[in-house]
Structure 1
Amino acid sequence: MPVDRASPRGTASSPPANRSRRAPACRCSSAAATRLTPRSPPEARTGTLHGLNASGWAPSGLTPALLKSKGVARMPESGIHAVTVPGAVAGWEALRARLGTWPMSDLLAAAIFYADEGFPVSDVIAASWMGLTEKLAAEPDAAKTYLPDGRAPRAGELFRNPDLAGSLRLIARHGPAGFYGGRTADAIVAISREKGGTMTAADLSELEPEWVEPMSTTYRGWEVYELPPNTQGIAALMMLNLMEQFPLADYGFHGARALHVMIEAKKLAYADMLQYVGDLRFAGTPIPGMLDKAHAKERARLIDPASAARAVAPSVFDGLTTSAGGDTIYLSVIDKNGNIVSLIQSIYRGFGSAIVPPGTGFALQNRGALFTLDETHPNALAPRKRPLHTIIPAFMRKGDTRIGFGIMGAFNQAQAHAQFVANIVDYGLDIQQALEAGRFTKGTFTGADVLVEELVPQAARNELATLGHEVAAVPPRTGTFGYGQAVMSDGSGVHFGASDPRHDGAAIPEAPPVFGSLG
């Protein structure tokens, strides 16, 4: 999660007339500020961009040899062996302790209230929930928690989760120790043991998030930042380096030539990302070479302006050889001093593993599914190793203009980030327009297939087909292309927020009231 510490400056309550599409971004409400007595931030506002990687690791007893001995030939998509140690709670505390001003009890008060009292289920969430009924019904504790009355909640119905409220209260009172120790940890270890897993109390209690230096590239004068491996963020930066070799603005917004370049850049960048990205504590991802501008210029020559590639080979760096071959939320916020947080968290597939430790109210994720059992690969499963993560918060800036953004959607994310940046830099869109614009996505890693949103003109889609792209048109405003949010602060100190209409997010001028502290 990139975190930008800005110099203090005044804020405006509304955007200027020429930017009326952007709502003022989130800031602390006056009611909350009056009630609370925040401590001083532990770190000066230095203008520095920080990165925090709170992804969890594999249990210490989980190895490729163990899975192969059980007849498992590839990492399972579901089940206990796809579960890695949850990292979000440790990440919340690391962020709060270093850069926050409120105690954990106040931060979690509203979430506890809604878990206890219930919240109305939106249309979008209800539809997704219903589609996961069979998955939840297969796990008794998941069914008990998430299928009240034996079915998924319908749109408009209140959903309550008192067990989750209890788990959050333990965190509010005891910090991470209330999750990685005590009854919550006991429940996680017990369900793992019951299902043949290897997770131990030490795997939970010894997890530590990592403060990291964000990676960056420049794109036509803008600095663009992503978190380093084990995330896929490097693919977005590589795409931008490749796209920079072509005059996309001259090709026109939603022009077929521009889309062709971006689709081909996606293929090249993802080939390298899938070949080389792994946990940097275990594997040496060649980041400097992958982000080298000269390398991008050479690699861009592989993009045929008249034909779509069906397969691309990854690059070779530093003598390395090549081998053959959602359930996410994102938020961005600006505080009254102009500090920006870009944060994303996920349990991967819908309801993760669907394994709910009894009495906790939450499902364990299945992020371990992204490991490989090929022990020669940088992303090979190993004890206490973090898998490749699809979730990536992002940040871009030029001069005094700073934008925090993210677009959910598994392996769609990096390619959507590159399109968002191009919409702003090449086509002059504001952050709301940049999110609303039609997108493409290619969820496969070979072939010429590509999904293109019908917001892209028919003529452009037809021209892509003549170039050899196997275009499938998808109705607009669906989850196929991910869901994004963004905030921006410009040189005048005005703050803006934008929310993708493909989902049920919102740009909120002020945070909702904070419910009372826990007793």
Structure 2
Amino acid sequence: MRDFQAPGRSPVHATNGMVATSHPLATGAALDILKSGGNAIDAAITAAAVLAVVEPQSTGIGGDCFALYCPKGGDQVIALNGSGRSPKAATLEWFQEQGIREITTDSVHSATLPGAIDGWTVLNRDYGTKDLAELLAPAIRYAEEGYPIHARVRFDWLSSVELLSKDTNAKALFLPNGAVPAEGDIHRQPQLAATLRAIGKDGRAAFYEGAIAEAMVAYLRGKGGLHTVEDFAATKSDYVRPIATRYRGFDVHQVPPNNQGLTALIMLNILEGFDLAGLDPMGADRLHLEVEAGRLAYWDRDALFADESAMTVTVADLLSKGHAASRRGLIRHDAAMTSLPDPGLAKSDTVYLCVVDRDLNAVSFINSIYHSFGSGLLCPQTGVMFQNRGASFRIDPSHPNRIEPAKRPLHTIMPGMVVKDGRAMMPYGVMGGDYQPFGHVHLLTGIVDYGLDVQAALDAPRAFYTDGAIEAERGIPGASIAGLLEKQHQVRITASPHGGGQAIRIDHDRGVLTGGSDPRKDGCALGY
């Protein structure tokens, strides 16, 4: 039981449906869809669309999406890869000839083709029950009539002034009067409203073909991009086979590479060999093991992960318990490892949401433009801000994640789904760029090893390894920081919180849904 004299919130319980998102306007709009007879997929699309308006720094229709879906609360997990590809003209040789050694986050070449709209329309076609126009209506209304700026949104927005100032269109829209809007100010995106309305009327064709696609291509090519209208028209989501590992009796599912979800599964496999439940949940020993497992898993990620067709090792090999055992053997209990290369990890913005409906259809959904405001490049006619996911590509012929034509880059955004005893137990996710595998593992071990409810597990203080040190949130006890220093870690207090997440736990026996939403964001979980 939580301490009711301490700041915090209780988990939300309901029986007919539950939505958890990072923004209250998105949660409310999605819950209205459930109440009007829509299912979990319908509500997830509505939430994603609203978030693309009211959290413009984190997501948008110029980005990508991934989803895991369990129909009827069963153990079938359907995975959708809604990530876009590089332009067909984006050859490694072209970049080498141009003397480009790295695709920077503000480069037009970082703008891979947006996959989100195709992902939404495919899910709507195959599993939704309502017309797309109805699902997009709340987002259109907020974009056209305006939405109030929330606190965390503005916190992130403030860090992007320099980026937004580089593009005339982005500056005009997102720095009105030359400054970030104040909390509570009303902000509008009328061009985006018109684009969403066209998509609601004519589906994916309105976005990937015709006038909207032509305007986006003209803008990108005007910046030196290699994009063509044929690239937009060819954008296509794919159903893929999810990957999973069993952690202490719980089957944890992720989307396969080009997604980084495999990183979290490797971490869980490594940690399975330690008695976490016997450790203080906020103690130095637990945090040390989590960090070291993460460093090893990211070592695999950075060297080996890419679009699966380009990988030189198999996912099965990386998921094997033998691989985890060999990695686990490198961990010392008394001291940090000194021989690993620094992974150069960084946090970025994303939105994650989950929905469970009255029939126990459960969806875990994530949508992103990668870094805050993505590439910072805004098409003025359409209101589309382009993602910068292509910055993940390497200009290195020997690396599996090298830039190539029509190729998907390595992706950080990763929805999760837990299944137990043949039934869906929990859609969940923790956003935050490279932090996400750490966040998934911290949340899951909090629930599985320490018996926390979903809200308490999301509330728990976090640590993240980056730039050669552990960045600890202020909630990590001083004694734990001292213990980490004794284990020869460098430790600093982070200036910004780590990630943000949502989760909904399904209690099949009692017929109750329990939702939680991360206090590090503006959002909430609501049910009915």
TM-score range for the pair, normalised by the shorter chain length: 0.7 to 0.9
Match of 2:504 among 467, 479, 487: 487
Letter in 2 for 1:459: A
Letter in 2 for 1:346: S
State the partner residue of 1:504. Answer: 522
Distance 1:98 1:404 in 2: 20
Residues 115 and 30 of structure 1: is their aligned pair in 2 closer, same or farther, counting only changes over 3 Å?
closer
Match of 1:457 among 477, 480, 496: 477
SS at match of 2:309: coil
Deviation at residue 152 of structure 1 after TM alignment: 1.8
What whole-Å deviation, never above 9, does each CA across 1:440-496 have from its counterpart, x for those lacking one? 11134xx4x111122221111101100011011237xx43x1011111111222111
Contact 2:174 2:180 in 1 (8 A): yes
Whether 1:337 and 2:355 are equivalent positions in the alignment is: no
SS at match of 1:507: strand
Segment of structure 1 superposing worse, 431-440 or 449-458:
449-458
Contact 2:362 2:424 in 1 (8 A): no
Segment of structure 1 superposing worse, 158-167 or 491-500:
491-500
State the partner residue of 2:56. Answer: none
Distance 2:515 2:472 in 1: 26
Whether 1:421 and 2:444 are equivalent positions in the alignment is: yes
Contact 2:12 2:527 in 1 (8 A): no
What's the TM-score, normalizing by structure 1? Answer: 0.87
Deviation at residue 216 of structure 1 after TM alignment: 0.4
Residues 357 and 418 of structure 1: is their aligned pair in 2 closer, same or farther, counting only changes over 3 Å?
same
Identify the structure with the greater strand proportion.
Answer: 2
SS at match of 2:493: strand
Contact 1:373 1:380 in 2 (8 A): yes
Deviation at residue 299 of structure 1 after TM alignment: 1.8
Whether 1:271 and 2:299 are equivalent positions in the alignment is: yes
Residues 178 and 442 of structure 1: is their aligned pair in 2 closer, same or farther, counting only changes over 3 Å?
same
State the partner residue of 2:435. Answer: 412
Match of 1:75 among 78, 100, 103: 103
SS at match of 2:426: strand
Residues 223 and 36 of structure 1: is their aligned pair in 2 closer, same or farther, counting only changes over 3 Å?
closer
State the partner residue of 1:295. Answer: 323
Contact 2:244 2:252 in 1 (8 A): yes
Structure 2 unaligned segments of length 5 or more: list them: 1-8, 20-28, 43-69, 343-347
Deviation at residue 401 of structure 1 after TM alignment: 6.0
State the partner residue of 1:474. Answer: 494
Larger RCO, structure (CA 8 Å, separation 6 or more): 2
Letter in 1 for 2:108: I
Deviation at residue 37 of structure 1 after TM alignment: 8.8
Deviation at residue 74 of structure 1 after TM alignment: 1.6
Residues 463 and 383 of structure 1: is their aligned pair in 2 closer, same or farther, counting only changes over 3 Å?
same
Deviation at residue 47 of structure 1 after TM alignment: 4.2
Residues 30 and 290 of structure 1: is their aligned pair in 2 closer, same or farther, counting only changes over 3 Å?
closer
Whether 1:250 and 2:283 are equivalent positions in the alignment is: no
State the partner residue of 2:54. Answer: none
May I ask how many residue pairs the two structures share in their alignment? 473
Distance 1:364 1:149 in 2: 23
Segment of structure 1 superposing worse, 415-424 or 62-71:
62-71
1:45-444 to 2 correspondences below 5 Å: 45=72, 47-312=75-340, 326-399=348-421, 400=423, 402-444=425-467
Using the aligned pairs only, state the percent identity. 38
Deviation at residue 198 of structure 1 after TM alignment: 0.7
Contact 2:373 2:385 in 1 (8 A): yes
Letter in 1 for 2:370: Y
Contact 2:75 2:424 in 1 (8 A): no
Deviation at residue 165 of structure 1 after TM alignment: 0.2
Letter in 2 for 1:174: D
The root-mean-square deviation of aligned C-alpha atoms, in Å, is 2.2
Contact 2:92 2:395 in 1 (8 A): yes
Contact 1:411 1:443 in 2 (8 A): no
Distance 2:281 2:438 in 1: 16
Segment of structure 1 superposing worse, 388-397 or 67-76:
67-76
SS at match of 2:425: strand
Distance 2:313 2:356 in 1: 33
Residues 101 and 285 of structure 1: is their aligned pair in 2 closer, same or farther, counting only changes over 3 Å?
farther
SS at match of 2:442: helix
Deviation at residue 281 of structure 1 after TM alignment: 3.1
Segment of structure 1 superposing worse, 168-177 or 128-137:
128-137
Contact 1:22 1:498 in 2 (8 A): yes
Structure 1 unaligned segments of length 5 or more: list them: 1-18, 315-325, 511-519
Residues 92 and 217 of structure 1: is their aligned pair in 2 closer, same or farther, counting only changes over 3 Å?
same
Choose 1 or 2 for highest CA Rg: 1
What's the TM-score, normalizing by structure 2? Answer: 0.85
Segment of structure 1 superposing worse, 20-29 or 195-204:
20-29
Deviation at residue 134 of structure 1 after TM alignment: 2.2
Contact 1:21 1:432 in 2 (8 A): yes
State the partner residue of 1:21. Answer: 11
Distance 1:374 1:160 in 2: 42
Letter in 2 for 1:507: A
Distance 2:479 2:31 in 1: 50
